[in-house]
A = this chain, B = another copy of it.
Amino acid sequence: MSRIDARLAELGIVLPEPVAPVANYVPFVVSGNQVFISGQVSIGPDGLITGKLGAGLNVEQGAEAAHACGVNLIAQLKAACGDLDKVTRVVKLGGFVNCTPDFVDQPKVVNGASDLMVAVFGDAGRHARAAVGAPSLPLGAAVEVDGIFEIA
């Protein structure tokens, strides 16, 4: 068992089968030592987490949705590089939060993904990030996060 797989087990995180794209693209592309992963929507163990921050979903629920996006990113990353121990850095996350025009806590929501990266990868999990609002997201998902990772 690799070091990161052991860490995932320790955290009680079970990686899902990577979600297949719902369209004519691929979940990840490796370019040089960078892995670009497609936007992952908030699908958790119980299915798609839908809803809008500021209109029904609260910040905690939003952060759980972002956590689910993060788990899906890691599942794709494992598919991309085989062994997660090859990951040398989480470079950049782009977090899109389905929200109303008066919602301003996008950072607290996207923390659900950011905290996961640091929990799993340690210092290598500290990443650059953008967190913005979106009026709506695919399938009504609460959150979508894409990512760039560096591998050895």
Q: Which residues of A contact B (CB under 8 A)?
A: 21-29, 31-34, 36-39, 52, 54, 89-94, 96, 98-108, 110-111, 114-115, 118, 126-140, 144, 146, 148, 150
Contacts and interface: CB of A to CB of B under 8 A. Distances in A.
**What are the 4 closest A-B residue pairs judged by CB atoms, nearest first?**
A39-B130, A133-B136, A36-B128, A25-B129
A134 to B, nearest CB: 5
B26 A127 contact: yes
Contacts of A106: 136-138
Contact of A104 (B28, B110, B111, B137): B137
B130 A133 contact: no
Interface centre among A90, A127, A140 (most CB of B within 10 A): A127
A98 B102 CA distance: 10
Contact of A107 (B22, B90, B99, B132): B22
A32 B151 CA distance: 11
